[in-house]
Amino acid sequence: MPSDPAEQPPHINLVDPKLYSHGDPFAQWRWLRANDPVHRHQATELPAFWALTRYDDIRAAYRDAETFSSAQGILLRPADHGADPGGGRTLALTDPPRHRQLRGLVDGWFAVRSVRALEQEMQDVAESVVEQALQRESCDFVADIAARVPLYVICRMMGVPSSDWERLYTLTSQAFGAGDPLTRRFAHLDILGYFEELQAAKAAHPADDLVSVLATATVDGEPLGAEDVILNCNNLLVGGTENTRIAAAGGMLALLENPEQWQRLSEDPALLPGAVEEILRWTSTATHIMRTAVRPTEIRGRAIEAGDLVTFWLPSANRDEEVFDEPDRFDIGRQPNRHLALGFGEHFCLGSMLARVELRLLYNELLRRSIHVEPDGEPELLDSIVVNGPERLPVKLTI
């Protein structure tokens, strides 16, 4: 969604969901990077916060976990919603040393060796999902392809029986879709309820899977409580599916809008690893990440007080003109490409290797079979300040 630099200062409102589905957030971010890179965003239904839009500032804040805490929440939420229930309890919402302890329990599952051991199974998933979509010819690339590959893979890793994969697919689609808020809430509760039953079963009869690891784990000599296990299971499910789903769909949208890049990739599949990195940079699916300052600090001369909320706008960082040449150009051969789409520092994405392999295998399956993908209607973008990208992407697949 690139645009020409704004001649007049735009009205800055980064918390309007419609900006991401029907507007141009890049115009606001571009102006902020140039004129107010540490911007004080006034309260709306959400509390006031500092907005960081420059790559270097965000990277530095990511590294400074002693100043910028994750334990009080990593997403903006209305004050009347109270504290995030996962605060201080899940991988995403803990600070060192607790974060390192929790991460150490599951890190090995996402290491290079472990992901490579799963690669054939992931390839089988990609083949099956693409084949089913190809038989339908017309499909929604988001729901029918991009959503299923990462969900099936993380379900396999978590020890979810294959007979339950479709149930979790339905629940996650409802929980993270743009439908009725009550439907989304009940779907979230159903997911938590599912993992309550699964963690109890795994605690009684552990197997070789992630839920068993958590259900039988101890930290500082104490077992994880059932609620902590359930919250971390939910965290793994969301982290293992949402951003990869949107990145896969957003990458396909970018390739449809830049057909010369798809042609380039078709002619030289060796470009695929670099293309995955450019897709991650271009889509930057986590729109914002939040931290809470736990001590006074200063960024570019602006005084940040203890208790202030500080937000990292990752799509802006990954279009920073001081870091990326022609940042508003989608280029699968871009080098270097040190994007922040998967975070940085202590909270660098646990599943970064897994996400890269899933994206590579999915696009490789389309390339390997010379599948032609073309638009079959207008894409619809998500109405959200949390994640950005296609909610629907109607396409036709033919050989």
Q: pLDDT per residue over 238-266, tens digit each? A: 888 989 999 999 999 999 999 999 999 99
What is the residue extent of each domain of the chain?
A: 17-398
Q: Which fold has domain 17-398?
A: Cytochrome p450 (1.10.630)
In a 3-state reduction of DSSP, which class is residue 18?
Answer: helix
d(CA 248, CA 149): 10
Low-confidence ranges of the chain (pLDDT < 50): 1-6
Q: Are 292 and 307 in contact (CB under 8 A)?
A: yes
Please tell me the predicted confidence (pLDDT) of residue 7: 54
Please tell me the predicted confidence (pLDDT) of residue 45: 93
> Which residues are CB-contacts of 39 (< 8 A; sequence separation ≥ 6)?
12, 32, 50, 51, 53
In a 3-state reduction of DSSP, which class is residue 42?
Answer: coil
Say which DSSP state 305 is in.
P
226 burial via Cβ count (<10 Å: 0-12, 13-18, 19+): middle
Please tell me the predicted confidence (pLDDT) of residue 375: 97
Please tell me the predicted confidence (pLDDT) of residue 101: 95
Question: Facing residues of 140 across strands?
Answer: 394
Give pTM, 2 decimals.
0.95
What's the token pair of residue 300? 């570019």
